[in-house]
């Protein structure tokens, strides 16, 4: 857990089967509204609620292919208030 008490970061080499299993675990956590990340240094629990922002990017260079998936949301106590926009 290399990001301190408010964050979590993990990087490792995995085969496609293991990555698939991790993605399936993420999908299950999203479905139940609770994602737990842990290692020998600590644990963080995220609780996705409401609308989630999904950002997916893919890139293919000669020697390196890359897929990034980012999911974010506002915590319930940080919900942005809906305001009417006026343009004059």
Whether 1 is in a domain gets the answer no
Query: Would residue 83 count as lying in a domain?
Result: no
List, for residues 2-32, the tens digit of each pLDDT value.
556 788 998 899 999 999 999 999 999 999 9
42 assigned to some structural domain: yes
pTM of the model: 0.75
- As for how many domains the chain has, the answer is 1
What pLDDT, in 10s, does the model give residues 30-87?
Answer: 999 999 999 888 899 999 999 999 999 999 999 999 999 999 999 876 556 677 878 8
Closest among 24, 26, 4, 8 to 16, alpha carbons compared: 24
Side-chain-side CA neighbours of residue 81 (13 Å): 2
77 in a domain, yes or no? no
Q: Is residue 40 part of a domain?
A: yes
**3 lies in some domain:** no
3-class DSSP assignment, residue 11 = coil
Residue 44 lies in a domain: yes
* Residue located via tokens 């999904």: 54
Distance of CA 73 to the CA centre of its chain: 9
Q: What are phi and psi of 4, to 5 degrees?
A: 85, -175
Range of the domain at 62: 14-71
In a domain, 88, yes or no: no
**Partners of 67 in the β-ladder:** 58
């Amino acid at each position: 857990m290399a990001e301190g008490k408010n964050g979590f970061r993990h990087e490792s080499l995995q085969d496609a089967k293991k990555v698939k299993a991790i993605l399936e675990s993420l999908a299950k956590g999203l479905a139940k509204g609770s994602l737990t990340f842990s290692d020998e240094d600590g644990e963080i629990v995220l609780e996705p609620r409401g609308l989630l922002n999904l950002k997916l990017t893919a890139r293919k260079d000669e020697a390196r292919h890359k897929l990034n998936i980012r999911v974010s949301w506002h915590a319930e106590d940080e919900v942005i208030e809906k305001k009417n926009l006026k343009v004059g």
